[in-house]
Amino acid sequence: MFMGEYRHNIDSKGRIIIPAKFREQLSQVFVITRGLDGCLFGYSAEEWEKVQAEVDKLPFNKKDARTFSRLFFSAATECEIDKQGRVNLPSSLVKYAGLVKNCVLTGVSTRFEIWDADKWDTYTEESQDDFNEIAENLLDF
C-alpha cells in the first residue's frame, strides 16, 4: 500500500527520486501515466494489470470511454528505477503535470501520484475545508 507525502525535486532531465517506501513496493519495472486533477499516476506492474482490466471494461461505443482509454493508455510508460532511486519521466508527462522543480509524491492506497508542489498545496488547501463533508457524502455512497 502506498501512503505518505514526500517532497523531491525534478531535475532538468526529467528525473525524480522515488521515495524508498514506494520503491519497496515496486518491481524493477512499473508504469506511470496521466492522472486526474493534473497529476501523474504510478502503478506497480501487478496493480497496472488490474487497472488495465477495469478500463478495458468501459463501453468502447461511448465517446467518453474511448477518449479516456486513449489518453490514459497512450501516455502510459514503463519506468525503471536507476541506482540513485530515480525515475526518468517522459517530457510529455512532465508537461502534462506541469512539473517544474518542486514536486510532491503522495501515496494513494494502490497507486502513487506525482504533483507539482504548488498545485498540490493549492489542491489540499481547497479540499481540506470540505474533507468532513466529502467523507459524510461518501458514507451514503
Domain segments of the chain as ranges: 5-139
Read off the pLDDT of each residue in 11-20 and give the average, rounded to a whole number.
Answer: 96
pLDDT at 110: 97
Q: What is the DSSP letter of 67?
A: H
What pLDDT score does 131 carry?
85
The 10s digit of each residue's pLDDT in 66-94 is 999 999 999 999 999 999 999 999 999 99
In angstroms, what CA-CA distances link 127 with 108, 121, 124, 134? Answer: 15, 10, 5, 9
Per-residue pLDDT of 26-67, as tens digits, reads 988 999 999 999 999 999 999 999 999 999 999 999 999 999
42 strand-pairing partners? 32, 112
Per DSSP, 129 falls in state T
Residues 6+ apart with CB under 8 A from 133: none
Identify the CATH number of the domain defined by range 5-139. Answer: 3.40.1550.20
Q: Report the C-alpha gap between 36 and 108 in whole angstroms.
A: 13
pLDDT digits (tens, 9 = 90+) for 86-115: 999 999 999 999 999 999 999 999 999 999
Give CA–CA dist 45/62, Å, rounded.
28
Model's pTM, two decimal places? 0.94
